[in-house]
A and B are shown apart, each in its own frame.
Chain A
Amino acid sequence: AQSVTQLGSHVSVSEGALVLLRCNYSSSVPPYLFWYVQYPNQGLQLLLKYTSAATLVKGINGFEAEFKKSETSFHLTKPSAHMSDAAEYFCAVSDKGGSEKLVFGKGTKLTVNP
């Protein structure tokens, strides 16, 4: 069964600093991996996804993530944080083609300080 572990339930960075949100996964088959973002009082929206093409995936708003099979990781990064990046971020994993089996991590709340 797939599972996802997000290291750090809260991350705080200064505006302009590097954002690094960590995600490790467990899957018995090659996974699909996702990062979703949730802004306050809103639903989740897709930030980026890995579906076995390029290992470095670029998403919206300047975010990117790198799939590292050897480390079973899919960390999310952004070179320079903006105040508007403050939100909760969820990593998710599914086996290929099985969206009903999407498993979410517990989330990381990102705070951006001026």
Chain B
Amino acid sequence: NAGVTQTPKFRVLKTGQSMTLLCAQDMNHEYMYWYRQDPGMGLRLIHYSVGEGTTAKGEVPDGYNVSRLKKQNFLLGLESAAPSQTSVYFCASSYSLGEANTGELFFGEGSRLTVL
């Protein structure tokens, strides 16, 4: 049982390049999230999804796009990377409101992105 898997784990980009981070979960969770973690800032929510085909903006959505075409996958895209997007990105998933939702998130191991 893999849980939440993120790929790639490391990536270096040049300013203006594009890339996609992939998150996959095998727990049949409805909710999925993308966070970024920066020193001294804690975790900040970028985008989230409450089900297949849905997405919503979080606290810091600018410069990012997401898609949830399949329930188990949540993609985070950077169309034109900027140095301010250098960060560690975490994907997480959780049960929906209609199930045993106690607010617990299950996290991937993170993807470290550097934009030069």
The interface size of chain A toward B, counting residues with CB under 8 Å, comes to 23
Q: 7 pairs across A/B with beta carbons < 8 Å? A: A43-B107, A51-B103, A97-B103, A98-B97, A99-B95, A99-B97, A99-B101
In the complex, per-residue mask of A30-60: 1 if CB is within 8 Å of any chain B CB, else 0: 0010101000011111100101000000000
Q: Return B70 CB to nearest CB of chain A, in Å.
A: 19
Residues 62-78 of chain B, each 1 if its beta carbon lies under 8 Å from chain A, else 0: 00000000000000000
Those of B78-108 within 8 Å (CB) of chain A: 90, 92, 94-95, 97, 101-105, 107-108
The interface size bin for chain B is: 20 to 34
- How far apart are the CA atoms of A90 and B90 in the complex, in Å? 14
Report the 3 A-B pairs with minimum CB-CB distance, sorted nearest first: A43-B107, A106-B42, A99-B103
A94 at the interface (CB under 8 A from B): yes
* Bound CA span A53–B33, Å: 27
Q: Collect the chain A residues with CB atoms within 8 Å of residue B40's CB.
A: 9, 106
Complex Cα distance, B106 from A99, in Å, reads 11
